[in-house]
Amino acid sequence: MKIYDLRSDTITKPSKGMRKAIADAEVGDDVLFEDPSVNRLEAMGAEMVGKEAALFVPTGSMGNLIPLYINGGRGSEVLTHKDSHILHLEVGSISAIAGVLPISIDTPRGILTRDSLKPHIRKAAYDLSPTTMIEVENTIAGICYPLENLKEIKALAEQNNIKVHIDGARIFNASVATNTPASVLASYGDTITFCLSKGLGAPVGSLLCGTKEFIYKARTVRKMLGSGMRQAGILAAAGLYALENNIERLSDDHTNAKIIADALKEKEWATFNYDDVETNMIFLSVENVDAERVVEVFAQKGVLTLSNNDQVRLVTNLDLSNEDAKEVATILSSIEKEDF
């Protein structure tokens, strides 16, 4: 039985071209600023999102933690959506390491608005923790932020002298899906982190981007967190290949997600919002059936997925071809409610 892995867009294997780029990578000591591949990756990444500088970090979690530490600051508050990655999937580092108090806000579809944020902003006082940063996740659960929301959030932040950090792990999915340059989307954040392994096929790494002054501070915090890297050009080469070759093809993942969503839409047992399938993610549930059981049934048919609370997540990726997506759609179409 053929296995179709839709657990994440991080499960992909480096392509032959990427492996060759890794093998041929020019390297040096990055702690001494002497790794040419890292330097090139940081310069390219910063330019692509319209920022002055960038820092190569091993994970997106670190890429989010550093601005929380610097721009959030200990004893302060950061506003974020209740379903954000920094709250649920970064081991509490927002408080445990950055010393920041997260204020979670509940809004439809994970999209924050000016009106939802404004009541939570607190000014500095001797007995209050002031609001110092707003965190926006784009995409969030595969959903793209409307440009107008980003504009209003940035304007609100500037009015209150608050920084905006964008967790743009999948910012290029948002860029491709909305036909908006990544630099435009990133312009509404003071800082942005984007991932090289989510959707883009690199085996590891993220880029944190911002002003030169911020990145200078970020390099120090990266070191404090144990991530001064030496001949990291071997990893950076994969990131360079990803940025040069794997962005435009994200539209294939989006198309494949729609193919699968079209099949699920016809099944009375599948509950999900079809309009929320904007990029490469589908979140569904089956009434009166535990998500773990749904995952089990799908796996028995050769389709690997993950449970996410009471939902099941399916993520298309570059190792899933268009023909594969059609076959997954056929498999899911064959499942009936009694199979659960």
Are the C-beta atoms of residues 17 and 9 closer than 8 Å to each other? no
Question: Can you give the pLDDT at residue 125?
Answer: 87
Question: Can you give the pLDDT at residue 308?
Answer: 83
pLDDT tens figures, 133-169: 999 999 999 999 999 999 999 999 999 999 999 999 9
pLDDT confidence tier of residue 319, bands split at 50, 70 and 90: very high
Q: What angle do CA 151, 134, 146 make, to 5 degrees?
A: 35
266 and 230 in one domain? no
User: Torsions phi, psi of 43, nearest 5?
Assistant: -65, -45
The last residue of a domain, from among 203, 229, 245: 245
| 119-130 per-residue burial string, b: 16 or more CB within 10 A, e: under 16 | eebbeeeeeebb
Rounded Cα distance between 53 and 46, Å, is: 5
Beta-bridged to residue 193, according to DSSP, are 167, 208
253 and 240 in one domain? no
CATH classification of the domain holding 39: 3.40.640.10
Taking the whole predicted model, whether its pTM rises above 0.85 is answered as yes
110 and 185 in one domain? yes
Helix (H) or strand (E) holding 200: none
| 41-75 per-residue burial string, b: 16 or more CB within 10 A, e: under 16 | bbebbbebbebebbbbbbbbbbbbbbbbbbbbbee
Share of the chain above pLDDT 90, in %: 97
Q: How many domains are contained in the chain?
A: 2
The last residue of a domain, from among 227, 245, 263: 245
Which pair of tokens denotes residue 172? 């290029």
327 and 202 in one domain? no
Average pLDDT, integer, range 278-298 = 97
DSSP string for residues in 146-186 = PHHHHHHHHHHHHHTT-EEEEE-TTHHHHHHHHT--HHHHH
- DSSP letter, residue 195: E
